[in-house]
């Protein structure tokens, strides 16, 4: 959700301040960020384990650097161990992460648009539960939103460098348009994540069907008859399957 600012306008999803920080990065770093944003935008759901582990490991690794300095231990060792541990836990606790993030998003939205709501804790619990039940949809929405934001920020910087576009003027003067682009990009990402997963998982079947089209009907029948029979399981699978001739 986009909370309104005190002047009654919507807060910008793409702000000039963050855009200026992104612009301070080197051009190769911006290009890598753009490609990572597109990869997350397209493969967020299909590669969710990788993206969740990567984000949690990176976040807790950065936190471990500060924690190590504050506690007097070696910062790099603390960051490495904390990041790896958090990454492994994130793989197993992905639905718990969905509950926490979904509850926070719901609570923030309720407090922003309905500040007089009497039970913010109930809103948090209900929102988190709904996001766990709709785990796939919520995960696609989060990945799509983050991927769209990263792509927009880095894409604007690349446009300023190569096309000489006044991206800061666009962000300041056309914030509603930029917000609409982010929202549309998020929805489009949710659709593309599902479509790409189906396309990727069925590629072997499509290749087999294309290869079989090159054979005649008799050759296809011969190939079907030449398939080895499935082994028969013995003792409910406790013993080694017996090969059938």
Compute the distance between CA of residue 197 and CA of residue 203 in angstroms, rounded to an integer: 10
Same domain (yes/no): 169, 227: no
Same domain (yes/no): 131, 213: no
* pLDDT in the model for residue 6: 43
Same domain (yes/no): 220, 195: no
C-alpha closest to that of 146 among 59, 36, 26 = 36
Same domain (yes/no): 157, 217: no
Same domain (yes/no): 63, 173: yes
* pLDDT in the model for residue 110: 86
Query: Is residue 10 assigned to a domain?
Result: no
Total domains, the chain: 2
Same domain (yes/no): 191, 221: no
Same domain (yes/no): 226, 195: no
Same domain (yes/no): 63, 184: yes
* pLDDT in the model for residue 1: 40
Q: Which domain holds residue 21?
A: 16-201
Same domain (yes/no): 132, 157: yes
Query: Is residue 216 assigned to a domain?
Result: yes
Same domain (yes/no): 190, 231: no
Query: Is residue 4 assigned to a domain?
Result: no
Tokens 């807790």: give the residue. 60
Q: How far is CA 87 from CA 47, 57, 141, 210, in A?
A: 15, 5, 21, 41
Query: Is residue 7 assigned to a domain?
Result: no
Same domain (yes/no): 213, 167: no
Compute the distance between CA of residue 56 and CA of residue 61 in angstroms, rounded to an integer: 8
Specify the pTM: 0.79
Same domain (yes/no): 85, 151: yes
Query: Is residue 147 assigned to a domain?
Result: yes
**Which segments in the chain show pLDDT lower than 50?**
1-9, 236-238, 244-245
* pLDDT in the model for residue 117: 82
> Would you call 227 helix, strand, or coil by DSSP?
coil
Query: Is residue 3 assigned to a domain?
Result: no
What residues pair up with 232 in beta bridges, in sequence order? 242
* pLDDT in the model for residue 23: 93
Query: Is residue 8 assigned to a domain?
Result: no
Query: Is residue 174 assigned to a domain?
Result: yes
């Amino acid at each position: 959700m986009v909370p309104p600012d005190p002047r009654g306008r919507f807060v910008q999803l793409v702000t000039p301040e963050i855009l200026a920080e992104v612009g301070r990065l080197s051009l190769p770093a911006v290009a890598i960020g753009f490609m990572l944003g597109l990869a997350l935008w397209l493969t967020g759901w299909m590669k969710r384990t990788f993206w969740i582990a990567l984000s949690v490991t990176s976040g807790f690794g950065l936190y471990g650097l500060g924690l190590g300095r504050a506690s007097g231990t070696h910062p790099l060792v603390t960051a490495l161990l904390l990041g790896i541990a958090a990454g492994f836990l994130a793989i197993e606790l992905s639905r718990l992460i969905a509950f926490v993030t979904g509850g926070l998003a719901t609570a923030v939205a309720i407090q922003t648009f309905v500040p007089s709501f009497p039970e913010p804790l109930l809103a948090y619990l209900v929102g988190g539960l709904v996001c766990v039940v709709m785990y796939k949809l919520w995960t696609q929405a989060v990945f799509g939103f983050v991927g769209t934001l990263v792509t927009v920020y880095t894409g604007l910087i690349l446009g300023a460098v190569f096309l000489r576009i006044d991206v800061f003027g666009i962000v300041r003067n056309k914030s509603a348009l930029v917000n609409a682009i982010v929202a549309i990009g998020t929805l489009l990402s949710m659709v593309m994540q599902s479509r790409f997963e189906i396309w990727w998982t069925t590629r072997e079947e499509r290749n087999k069907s294309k290869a079989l089209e090159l054979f005649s009907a008799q050759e296809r029948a011969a190939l079907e008859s030449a398939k080895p029979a499935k082994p028969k399981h013995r003792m409910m699978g406790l013993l080694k399957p017996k090969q059938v001739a």
